[in-house]
Structures are given as C-alpha cells and as structure tokens.
Amino acid sequence: MKRYGNLWPQIIAFENLLTAARKAQKGKRYRPNVLEFNYHLERSLLSLQRELRDKTYEPGKYYTFYIHDPKVRMISAAPYRDRVVHHALCNVIVPLLEPTLIGHTYANRLGYGTHRALKKFVGLARRYRYCLQCDISKYFPSIDHKILKGLLRRKLKCPDTLWLIDKIIDASNPQMPVIEYFPGDDLLTPVERRRGLPIGNLTSQFFANLYLNPFDHFVKEQLKLRRYLRYVDDFVAFGDDWQVLADARAAMEEYLATLRLRLHPTKSQLFETRYGVNFVGFRILPDRIRVRNDNLQRARKRMKLLQGLYGRGEVSLETLVQRLSSWEAHLIHGDTYRLRRKIFDQLVFVREMEDGADSLLAG
C-alpha cells in the first residue's frame, strides 16, 4: 500500500495558500471577515504560513447554527483563516487520496455530485427488482477521531501533514451527543472516545467520504455487490435476489460496527423497486421521476424567503437569477415540466424602492 510523504512544503507554499484563499472566498468575498483578511492579503497569508511552518498555528472557535432539513442539523462554520488552511491542505492531499475511492461514491467530488448520482441510481432502480437502501444514524456526529486518524495514516506518512490533520480533527467542536456501545466497550468507552466532525468544513466533507471508503470496498469486493452506490452516508445496493441483499445487510451492520457506526433503524430497508425509491430529493418510480413533497415544501419556503430578501435589497438581481436558475436546473432532472411552469408562473419578485417598485416575474 503506497503511503505519501514530503507533502508539507507543498501545503505551506505561498502559492498554495494564495490559491486556497481564492477558493475559500468563492461566493463570500464581500463578507466582513473575508474583506478584513483580503485587505492585507499578502501579510495575512505570510502570517499564516509562518504559523504553520513554526507549528504555532491554532484553529479558532467555530460559529454554530442549526438548520431544519427537515431534521435538525448543527452546522459549524470555522473562522475564515482556518478555512484557507483547510483548502490548502485539501489542495494537496485530495488529488492523492481521492483515486482510492470507488467510482460510485458521488458526494463532494469534482465531476460527480447529486445529478450524476441520480442518473446512475435511476438506471439501476429500473433494471433490478430489489433495492437495499440504508442510511447511517447521526453520521457526522458519530465519526470516531481515532479510527479516522488511523485511516489517514494508512495513506499518509508526512509527519508535518499529519500534525496539521490532527490539529483540525482535534479542534472539532462538540457535536450532537451520540451514545452507542460496540463489542469490547466498557461503561465509559462511548464518552471517552472523541468523535464528531463539523459538517461545514471542507476537510470534514472529504474525511467523511474517506471514512466509509473501506466499507465501500468491503461491499463491492467481499460481498460482491457490484450494483452499489453511495452519496455521503446514504448507500444503496440493487439486485434480483432478495436473500442475497438480506444477508448483505447483516454483514454490512457487522462491518460498520468496526467503524463505530450504526444503520438508521427506520431509514434502512429492503424492498421492491416497483413501489418507488427516494433518493437525493426525488422519488424514482418505474415510469417517472417525481420531486419529493418535503423537498418541494422546503424549496417553496426558500423561495418565499428569497422574495423578502430581494424586496429589501439584500439580494442582487444577479444573485436572484442565479438561485432561480440553480433550482430549475435541479428540478429539470425529474419529470417536472408542468410543476416548474406552475411554480415559476406564480413567482413574482418585487424590489421596493423610494419612488416606486421594480418587479421580476420568474416565469
């Protein structure tokens, strides 16, 4: 197994830090913390470079908020200078480690994404009789730090890079509590082992993909389930033999326990595809693809919020058009022509002005 070393000079190189800053500010360049950092950009990056080189770098505190999507999720945002460090690290290690991922894990990967996953999913759902669909309970809060560090050390041997990775992982703020017992645990094990990654971090998204990589290979290479794909912690396997998939589920649960993970008790099911399958916001039926009702309701709430933001002048016309186009581009992957016409024909965005109003009809 190849392990990569001598990565530190690439990570702390000024050119890499500059590239990282440009990536980190994408879509956020006018926020106060970004403007402050960029006002003295060279000085800020040189200071960050010095802290990394001298090992005096310390991650800052997270800003935390909650979203309902539809379940409650805790989102943690790192300070901007830390996000620059995250990008600098990922610029170097992701191209080395991503090729070890299977070809059918789709989240947080360049050139993959939701719609490519949906296309593959639809093709499999319409070819096979049964679907084993599973979801991991409280995935991000459950990721075990010791296991994650061990997985990374299988691929990386650069001491300085591992120091930075440990700093980022150890600085993770407390996530939603998860108390689970696994074989070999004593009474205090679940509270003594550190776990949980903040969802908002670029590093967390990549580490979350990597954490389940051994499981992906186990499913495809040992369980021989070739019709398998994963999107974050939602994974599915298709086949025409019900018993094979039922036995596979038991083996999956046993393997996931070695990663200190549990399947969600109600979201993990084996059923016939002809009854419809939910995936990435759509419901896939044998003859059509519908938008899930809960996904549609959340989108309508976002549109209502966007109307208010645009009306108060808090969102520009360019941003408004971009968001509407993005939403339509998502809907177009389903059989949604009539739905899109109905929604967009009813959407009216009005900009309130001192001498009147300026309006935009989305349709």
pLDDT in tens, 268-312: 999 999 999 999 889 999 988 888 887 778 778 888 888 888 888
Q: Contacts by 342-351 with C-beta closer than 8 Å and gap 24+?
A: 343/300, 343/303, 347/303, 347/307, 348/307, 349/306, 349/307, 349/310, 349/311, 349/320, 350/307, 350/310, 350/311, 351/310, 351/311, 351/313, 351/317
Q: What pLDDT, on the 0 to 100 scale, is given for residue 214?
A: 97
Alpha-carbon gap, residue 333 to 347, rounded angstroms: 21
The amino acid at 253: E
Give me the mean pLDDT over the 99-120 stretch: 93
Distance CA 166, CA 146 (A): 10
pLDDT in tens, 161-197: 999 999 999 999 988 888 899 999 999 998 889 999 9
**3-state DSSP assignment of residue 334:** coil
- Which amino acid is located at 326 in the chain? S
Cα 114 from Cα 135, distance rounded (Å): 16
For the chain, state the CA radius of gyration.
Answer: 23
pLDDT beyond 50 at 252: yes
- Compute the average pLDDT of residues 321-347: 81
- For residues 334 and 162, the model is more confident at 162
| Residue bearing the bigger pLDDT, 97 or 348 | 97
Quick check: 155 and 4 in contact, CB under 8 A? yes
Query: Inter-axis angle of helices 80-97 and 202-211, to 10 degrees?
Result: 30
128 or 315, which is more confident: 128
pLDDT at position 262 over 50: yes
Angle between helices 32-39 and 80-97 (to 10 degrees): 80
CA 65 to chain centre: 17
pLDDT at residue number 88: 98
Report the chain's mean pLDDT, rounded to a whole number. Answer: 90
> Could you tell me the pTM of the whole model?
0.86
Burial class (CB in 10 A: 0-12, 13-18, 19+), 279: buried
- At residue 354 the predicted structure's pLDDT band, cuts being 50, 70 and 90, is very low
Q: How much is the pLDDT for 353? A: 59
Report the phi/psi class of residue 287: left, alpha or beta, with left for phi > 0 and alpha for psi in -120 to 50. Answer: alpha
Q: Within the chain, how many helices (H) and strands (E) appear?
A: 16, 11
Compute φ and ψ for 326, nearest 5 degrees: -65, -45
* The pair of three-digit structure tokens given for residue 118, joined into one six-digit string: 């949906």
Q: What angle do CA 93, 112, 29 make, to 5 degrees?
A: 65
Q: What is the pLDDT of residue 346?
A: 76
Q: Name the pairing type of β-strands 277-279 and 234-239.
A: unpaired
Is the distance from CB of 210 to CB of 234 less than 8 angstroms?
no
Q: Does residue 362 surpass a pLDDT of 70?
A: no
Task: Please tell me which residue, 202 or 355, carries the higher pLDDT value.
Answer: 202
pLDDT surpasses 70 at 357: no
Q: Could you tell me the pLDDT band of residue 208, with boundaries at 50, 70 and 90?
A: very high
Q: Which residue has the tokens 């649960």?
A: 253
Tokens of 163: 């120091």
Dihedral Cα 244, 250, 251, 255, nearest 10 deg = 150
How distant, in Å, are the alpha carbons of 51, 129, 161, 162 from that of 12?
A: 10, 52, 10, 13
